[in-house]
Structure 1
Amino acid sequence: MMTYLYLIALVLSIGTVLIANYTDLRERIIPNKLTYPMIVAGIALHLLFGVFQRDLIVAVRGGFGAGLAFGIGYGMYLTGGWAGGDVKLFTALGALLPVYSPPFNLPYSTAFPPYATFYPLFPVTLLFNSVIIVLPVFLIFALISKIRGEGIFYNIVKISNLEEGMIPAEIIYEKDGEFERYEAGYLGFISRKVGTPDWDRRLTDPDKAAGVSQEQVDLLKELVEEEKLEDEIKIKRGTPFAPAFGAGLFIGLFYGGLYWKLILLLI
């Protein structure tokens, strides 16, 4: 019976990441109409099987996996590492596959970590796989950006070219009639909550997923025209993370945990 649960969850998870990859690469967005139904489906699926088998642990796995994935993802969001769509996609995968035991006789069974097979911690395997896969790409990208003299996590654009929806990587604020800038910091949201200066008015907010409004764009451009503000602003790079999730998921499903495999090679 549990094999059917894994197969259904597997098919839904693969379909979810494929669609998310398409929309993220094409439109730089992971739609809520994809992630929200999958979160509900994952929780409901495990609840249904748990009730049918009269197994409380199975019944709550979907909710636990979703909660664990959301907690990790929200932490990544607060530090500026992920966008809101990435958090919701990770939560959906956590709800669908809180636990994963391969339904096939795979030759690399030792690569399946016990914490993902027996406990609702498969999202941890998915996260490790995704980070390990994307790390070499990120390091190459960081090196190229450094050589070009560009920021790793942001682009510098002219305020005169600023558009609604762009997400700033710095706070522009007014204090005593003067306009100043405050860097987002390496810890993103946490840095800003701990060490931000006092201001009378904040003109940009890096923590708003919706980015700058048209009203903010018009105000910033007006300040540039009045020569009260330099004509440049740091904008967060829109780096799609869905492909890393997709690769991490496929490796996790058909091979296991890359981190676990590295641990086994060292012991």
Structure 2
Amino acid sequence: MNFSSIFLIQITVTVLFSLCATIFDVRKGFVPNLLCYILIAFGLFSNLILSLISTNIKFILASIISMVITYSITYMLWQLSIWGGGDVRLFTGIATVIPFGLNIDFLHIFPVLSVYPFSFSVVINSILVSFPFLMVFVCYAIVKKDLFQNNIDILFNVFSVDSLNYIKEKTLNKTIPVREIKEGNIVNSYYFDDEHISDLIGEEDGNLKVYENTDKGCKYYFKSISAGGITKKEESLLKIMSVQGFIDNRISIKVSYPFTPAIVAGLLIAVFYGDIMMIFAKNIMLVI
């Protein structure tokens, strides 16, 4: 039985939801949870329908397995601050709707499939596609901040470890007034001695975590523990502590870089062309 029409609906819905997520991420700085949950529900429902029509459990089973595995892997990468929580949920939604690569005969769509789940192809494609975006972003920040004007040595040693760390520090971080901080911002290390601050942050049990400082100077420091950024309660707490004089009125945060455009690009490439790594490997084999 040919399910190309249903596959096309799944692809269309997934792309549309991913585009909506991108619009929210770029304009608002976050991906709505509801959007991702609806996509996950659609994935389970559509693959259940496919299983019922075909009397083959593989569709819904693959959907559930793909959902669980993708969530687990992308969640671990979220813990490493690779991307935000919204990206994790979006990847999970995509994995639930499209658990394996789809061929659509009447549109002549035959992507190069990988040996791993389709969602992993989307993840890998997204990461590879994100590098050009990131390079453009960093170059723009370098030009805008005119980093080399007073640091000409950096320009001539741009690929040294010190130079790269300097560029990273200056382009991917910024200091803002605490009153302007908002939910989702990723807070860099803030050093302090007051144990009361440690207690207040510990009570929230959110994205901020307090550590003991082993270097000379302040006893403690706090920072965001993941790319999800601070919660709404932590936003309020930081503003209150700033007003009351517990912390300074300025704080360092990481410059936000929306990853959803790369996810959409990775998804489209995976759907219409296939896995970039497999395409590359295939071309290498042809050359050899």
Render the CA deviation track for 1:95-153: whole Å, top value 9, x for unaligned. Answer: 011112220367784x512426xxxx001111121111111222343455566354454
Shift of 1:22: 1.9
Whether 1:235 and 2:253 are equivalent positions in the alignment is yes
Alpha-carbon spacing, 1:154–1:263, altered in 2? closer, same or farther (3 Å): same
Instruction: Work out which of the residue numbers 235, 244, 251 in structure 2 matches 1:222.
Output: 244
Separation (CA, whole Å) in 2 of partners of 1:40 and 1:178: 44
- Distance in 2, matches of 1:251 and 1:260, equals 12
Q: CA deviation at 1:169?
A: 2.6
Structure 1 residues 56, 21: closer, same or farther in 2, change over 3 A? same
Flag structure 2 segments of 5+ consecutive residues without an equivalent: 148-166, 199-206
CA distance in 2, matches of 1:156, 1:252: 38
The answer to whether residue 174 in structure 2 is matched with residue 155 in structure 1 is yes
Cα distance change on mapping 1:11 and 1:164 into 2, 3 Å: closer
Please, what TM-score do these two structures have when normalized by structure 2?
0.72
Q: 1:6 to 1:90 in 2, by over 3 A?
A: same
Q: Which structure 2 residues correspond to residues 86-105 of structure 1 after superposition, within 5 A?
A: 86-104=87-105
Give the alignment partner of residue 120 of structure 2, picking from 102, 121, 124. Answer: 124
SS in 1 for 2:175: strand
For 2:231, give the aligned amino acid. Answer: A
Matched residue, 1:185? none
Report the CA distance between 1:175 and its aligned residue: 4.2
C-alpha distance after superposition, 1:193-234 (max 9, x if no partner): 9x942799876644454253223212124327xxxx555322
- 53-62 or 138-147, larger mean C-alpha shift: 138-147
**Matched residue, 2:273:** 255
Q: Which runs of 5+ in 1 are unaligned?
A: 181-188
Contact 1:163 1:214 in 2 (8 A): no
Higher mean displacement: 89-98 or 252-261: 252-261
Amino acid at match of 1:126: V
Q: Bigger CA drift: 9-18 or 22-31? A: 22-31
Structure-2 change in CA distance of 1:177 and 1:75 (3 Å) = closer
Q: How does 1:17-56 map to 2 (within 5 A)?
A: 17-56=18-57
**TM-score normalised by length of structure 1:** 0.77
Which residue, 122, 129, 133 being the options, matches 2:129? 133
Supply the distance in 2 between the matched residues of 1:233 and 1:11 (Cα, whole angstroms): 42
3-state SS, counterpart of residue 62 of structure 2 = helix
Partner residue of 1:245? 263
SS at match of 2:245: helix
**Structure-2 separation of matches of 1:36 and 1:77:** 18
Aligned length: 246
Q: Matches of 2:39 and 2:109 in 1, distance apart?
A: 29
My pick for the range that moved more, 88-97 or 133-142, is 133-142
Instruction: Letter of the 2:40 partner, please give it.
Output: I
Match of 1:34, SS?
A: helix
Contact 2:212–2:220, Cα closer than 8 Å, also in 1: no
Give the corresponding residue for 1:115. 115
